[in-house]
Structure 1
Amino acid sequence: MQMSEQRIYVRFSEEADAAELTAMYKRNRELFEKFSPSNLEEYYTEEHQLQKIITSKADMMEDRRYSFVVCHKEGDRIIGSIGLSFVVRGPLQSCMIGFDLDQAYNGKGYMTEAVKQAVRYAFDELKFHRIVGEASPRNPGSIRVLEKAGFHKEGISRSNVKINGEWEDHQVLAIINPSEDI
């Protein structure tokens, strides 16, 4: 069975992406900060994004975090980002997935495709056993993305993340590596 042609692809972030990422975060700041902790003003500078990318390469080498950009095949433009963070090895072999998508591309299935690609990489290449995702119940789109990518609801983390000065609950979802080779 052949899958339909992918409309997006996921790749590791590069130094040359700093300006495009900065522009995406600036365009979407109001939306992203509704559901995520607010960032300092410096976050929205090209210098900060460049430093994040440089740090992400060291993080990958140290098996701490993996940072990807989501690119639309048409025009090779960056439309989002995905991170695999909170890496724990040993008996857990787990990480957490987080993502941002330019609001101009919401509701088209792009992030679901991207999450599936990142999950495949996490399971096949990084050999994780379990990936956790969390999303605000006020953000049903992100919960839907995770569910469509194969994650299952596990429960609610009460008073989990401080967003805009308020402690908020988060829906916890997870996916287990179906491979028996782990």
Structure 2
Amino acid sequence: MQEGNSVDIRPLSLNDAEQELVLQTENRMFFERFAMSRQEDFYTLEGRKKRIEQSLKNAENDTEYSFGIFLQDQALIGTISLFQVVRGSLQSAFIGYFLDGEHNGKGYATKAVKLAVDYAFNELELHRIEAGVMPHNKASIRVLEKAGFHKEGIARKNVKINGKWEDHQVLAIIHPEDT
């Protein structure tokens, strides 16, 4: 799943656990500004391995697909997930991602989102992908818009982050063949 020569996404394996632990630990303060509360074991090697094993099971069960975002030298610079996959008449999922602070602003997140959306539409045959972003996170909103998402509205006080209910800008993309 590559686009250009700059970034690739693939499912994380247990061999990636140490690299992911470093990514999460080094970016903890940065990521937690935008994430739900995390248990302390989130920042342990054993915790990372358990989450990778669970993400592989979730993919087998068609409920969530998690990927690492890798540079061509195989350095892990972020993660991206398609989660809350719903089948039946909805055929939809949410997308979420985190990118190492040092790699922001270089187009990597936009490319990773495009790759994940392509996977969602062409491999998983989903109809709609939705994202929620805190309105002050302008960079993430730009990433999604560059990847083809459109704004749909504000979900008021819908996600608790760092003990506070936060509004989220709702953005979505529809499979082009379904429009």
Provide TM-score, normalisation by structure 2.
0.96
Residue identity opposite 2:119 in structure 1: Y
Structure 1 counterpart of 2:116, from 118, 122, 128: 118
Structure 1 counterpart of 2:106, from 96, 105, 108: 108
Residue of structure 2 equivalent to 1:99? 97
CA distance in 2, matches of 1:85, 1:60: 10
- Quick one: percent identity of the two aligned structures? 50
Structure 1 stretches (4+) deviating beyond 2 angstroms? none
Q: CA deviation at 1:102?
A: 0.3
Secondary structure of residue in 1 paired with 2:172: strand
Residue identity opposite 2:145 in structure 1: E
Q: CA deviation at 1:57?
A: 1.1
Q: CA deviation at 1:148?
A: 0.5
Q: Deviations over 1:100-138 (max 9, x none)?
A: 000010000000000000100100000000000111112
How is 1:19-168 mapped onto 2 (pairs within 5 angstroms)? Answer: 19-73=18-72, 75-168=73-166
Q: CA deviation at 1:165?
A: 1.2
CA distance in 2, matches of 1:5, 1:145: 17
Q: CA deviation at 1:6?
A: 3.0
Structure 1 runs not aligned, ≥5 long: none
Q: CA deviation at 1:179?
A: 2.2
- Across the aligned residues of Structure 1 and Structure 2, the Cα RMSD in angstroms comes to 1.3
CA distance in 1, matches of 2:14, 2:58: 15
Structure 2 runs not aligned, ≥5 long: none
Q: CA deviation at 1:76?
A: 1.0
Residue of structure 2 equivalent to 1:5? 4
Residue identity opposite 1:30 in structure 2: M
Residue identity opposite 1:132 in structure 2: E
Provide TM-score, normalisation by structure 1.
0.94
Secondary structure of residue in 1 paired with 2:153: strand
CA distance in 1, matches of 2:26, 2:56: 25
Residue identity opposite 1:89 in structure 2: R
Number of aligned positions between the proteins: 177
Q: CA deviation at 1:5?
A: 2.7
Q: CA deviation at 1:158?
A: 0.0
Q: CA deviation at 1:164?
A: 1.3
